[in-house]
Amino acid sequence: MTMESTYQKIEKTVARELSCSAHAMKHVMRVYNLCLHLAKYELNVDLDVLKTAALLHDIARVKEFNDKTGNIDHSALGAEMADKILRTLGYPEKKIAHIKHCITAHRFRGKTKPQTKEAKILFDADKLDVLGAIGVARCFMIAGQYGQKIYSDISIKEYLKDNVVEEKADGMVRDISKHTPILEFELKFKHIPERLYTQKAREIAKERLRFMENFFEKLKREIKGEL
């Protein structure tokens, strides 16, 4: 079996697991392509590990979205799901461990930090896909899908107490329906550039964030009836 046919099998497996529109295969493939782009600016990247981890990184995302307790972490569960898939495909133990680390460490709100070059590239690529015009589109997709309001002026302190595990800005959201795009911007998006690992990703992120800042500032004015 060639690596390309292996990737195709993984892609089909992931596609069956994903039904959430903002985290469907188009997101996965954007992250996959961003990974390959960022890898061009880094030395000695294991592209097999990176490609495989990129394809599998969100395999448990729908399971997390459907959980109302905040106890399911899609990065941790996804790593375990990936383990079974990779063993079936005959991946060696060392490579499986490396890929699982990439998946476990890819999320912004996760406790595991990326330790390898491949994990850092995946983390950065995944974050870039929530910024810019595509980021605005995705967060409002999620808002519509889960019945969120398009805007909320609740204080961050009050919201953290009401709907975020451990009341931390980077904690897991308990009930996605209570979230809003502006809350996601304040709690996550605006802090992404400072959290990225690769120079190229930081450059892209800063430009995309400027677009989002302008958008949400204009949204806030229009919600208040300002011309």
Per-residue pLDDT tens digits for 90-125: 999 999 999 999 999 998 877 889 999 999 999 999
What are the residue ranges spanned by the domains of the chain? Answer: 3-223
Per-residue pLDDT at 109:
75
**21, pLDDT greater than 60:** no
Per-residue pLDDT at 1:
67
Closest CA to 84 of 109, 105, 60, 112: 60
Assigned token pair, 209: 């964030």
Per-residue pLDDT at 22:
59
For domain 3-223, give its CATH number from 3.40.50.880, 1.10.3730.10, 2.40.50.110, 1.10.3210.50. Answer: 1.10.3210.50
Percentage of the chain with pLDDT > 90? 64
CA distances (Å), 60 to each of 28, 39, 45, 63, 99, in order?
12, 25, 25, 5, 15
Per-residue pLDDT at 108:
80
**20, pLDDT greater than 90:** no
- Give DSSP secondary structure letters for 113-178: PP-SHHHHHHHHHHHHTTSHHHHHHHHHHHHHHTT--S-----HHHHHHHHBGGG-TTSPBS-GGG
User: Which pTM value belongs to this model?
Assistant: 0.86
Per-residue pLDDT at 82:
94
Per-residue pLDDT tens digits for 43-85: 999 999 999 999 999 998 878 777 766 677 888 889 999 999 9
Report how far residue 24's alpha carbon sits from residue 14's, in angstroms, rounded to the nearest whole number.
Answer: 9
